[in-house]
Amino acid sequence: MTFLKQYLKWVSTALVLAGILLTNLNIYPLNIFFHGLGVVGWTVSGILNKDKAIITNFGLQIPLFLLGFYKLAF
């Protein structure tokens, strides 16, 4: 659990930044997958650390990414 708490934020940050880069390079839909995984990681990190600001920020982004996945699938 300590390993997860220690490195989840950094891995999630890298995924979010990679998603932003892919968005700026107009590489779709790969940008949604990277950024979405980063958002989920940050949300899990917020839950593990009981950080309500992080849960609110990243948790509310999850439905937006779900819309993107839905649009991609249908």
pLDDT by residue (tens digit) across 40-59? 999 999 999 999 999 999 99
pLDDT by residue (tens digit) across 11-45? 999 999 999 999 999 998 999 999 999 999 999 99
Q: 54 by DSSP, 3-state: which?
A: helix
Number of helices (H), then strands (E), in the chain: 4, 0
pLDDT level of residue 68 (50, 70, 90 thresholds): confident
State the pTM of this model: 0.89
